Amino acid sequence: MRIGIFGAGAWGTALAVSFSHVHQVVLWGRNAREIGEMGAHRENRRYLPEITFPASLTVSSSFDETAHDADLHLVVTPLSGLRDATRRLRSLCPGTPLLWACKGLEKGTGKLPHEIVREELGNDAPHGVLTGPSFALEVARGLPTAVTLASADAVFAEHWVAALHQPILRLYANTDIVGAEVGGAVKNVIAIAAGVSDGMGFGLNARAALLTRGLAEISRLGVRLGGRQETFMGLAGMGDLILTCTGDLSRNRRVGLSLAQGKSLNQILTDLGHVAEGVSTAREVALLGRRTGVEMPICEAVDTLLHDGADPRQVVEQLLARDPKHE
């Protein structure tokens, strides 16, 4: 099978490396110079240095060539690139099955990824999301990982789980695309709060409280939007939240740690060198919570911290000092 992967960042490269152990993979990136270097050195020195590309993985700076003749399209750009990529794929190769591994809410609209795809793709091709607890570096190294493939079409989800499943990279089918995407989006915001708490030295008890109450926020919003409660107890919910809030490879947790050190957001993002989706998602999640009447104090606090210049210590202390309620 031939897979066209769009987005040559860390996660796109990791999936390309993993899937190319079984399939023919073409990895597209928009920067022709960087793609040329990746092809010459057979590794992505910018995002995943020292991970050698298998022979069945090729790279290309041509979007059209990557799209044509592919049995599956997989978009792994930042969320901001999903709409354009989907629109171009519909024009070039209508009907080709589509997966995406983007997480977050679209800036300015608050739309989940599947809503963006539905607007651009319509019913032209079956589609779904690949999400769950997965650091790119570990996937690229071949370390055991389990993720969710969610689609409203159960047959589509089960078919592509069977086609892509590997002993090391294990896939599980799910038909709750709303719940899977809400879990993937909001956990990044909670991870920023967890990073701030850790950076302030508030301890493991405080982190556990933030994770637990963060999962409650994710579940409340997800159910309100039509997701299923049980999804948030699985890989796309609790699993992704735990990894992102506790792992040292988490970009969003690193944003929180740096905020606790007093660094400006601009400096943090420059130092990071990667996209941290929780930064833009925080504002959209806060707005969505207000529109839907869902109480989301942690996400609201992260939003004020990132975008309104709130003091990190005061934000976390206020969260921990909220009035007692039934759990």
In this predicted structure, which of 3-7, 113-117, 312-316 has the lowest mean pLDDT? 312-316
327 inside domain = no
Are residues 26 and 108 both part of a single domain?
Answer: yes
Are residues 191 and 155 both part of a single domain?
Answer: no
CATH code for position 147: 3.40.50.720
Buried b / exposed e over 198-217, threshold 16 CB at 10 Å, is: bbbebeeebbeebbebbbeb
Active site residues: 187
Are residues 291 and 162 both part of a single domain?
Answer: no
Span 306-325, pLDDT tens digits: 988 888 888 877 776 765 56
326 inside domain = no
Span 235-246, pLDDT tens digits: 999 999 999 999
Are residues 7 and 77 both part of a single domain?
Answer: yes
Residues 6+ apart with CB under 8 A from 169: 18, 19, 139, 145, 147
Indicate the residue type of 150: A
Domain range holding 80? 2-175
188 inside domain = yes
CA pair distance 132, 113, nearest whole angstrom: 15
Q: How far is CA 284 from CA 8, 119, 187, 278, 316, in A?
A: 26, 19, 13, 10, 20
End-of-domain residue from the set 175, 208, 234: 175
Q: Which residue has the tokens 């909220």?
A: 322
Are residues 169 and 184 both part of a single domain?
Answer: no
Are residues 17 and 158 both part of a single domain?
Answer: yes
Average pLDDT, the chain: 94
Span 31-74, pLDDT tens digits: 999 999 999 999 999 999 999 999 999 999 999 999 999 999 99
Strand-pair category, 127-131 with 24-28: unpaired
Are residues 194 and 147 both part of a single domain?
Answer: no
Total of domains in the chain: 2
Are residues 143 and 171 both part of a single domain?
Answer: yes
CA pair distance 55, 11, nearest whole angstrom: 19
Are residues 28 and 168 both part of a single domain?
Answer: yes
Looking at residue 165, what DSSP letter applies? Answer: -
325 inside domain = no
The residue-averaged pLDDT of 18-26 equals 97
CA pair distance 305, 308, nearest whole angstrom: 6
Are residues 274 and 152 both part of a single domain?
Answer: no
Of residues 278 and 273, which shows the higher confidence score?
Answer: 278
71 inside domain = yes
Are residues 119 and 200 both part of a single domain?
Answer: no
198 inside domain = yes
End-of-domain residue from the set 152, 175, 198: 175
Q: Helices (DSSP H) in 122-264: which residue ranges?
A: 136-140, 154-164, 177-199, 203-224, 240-246, 251-260
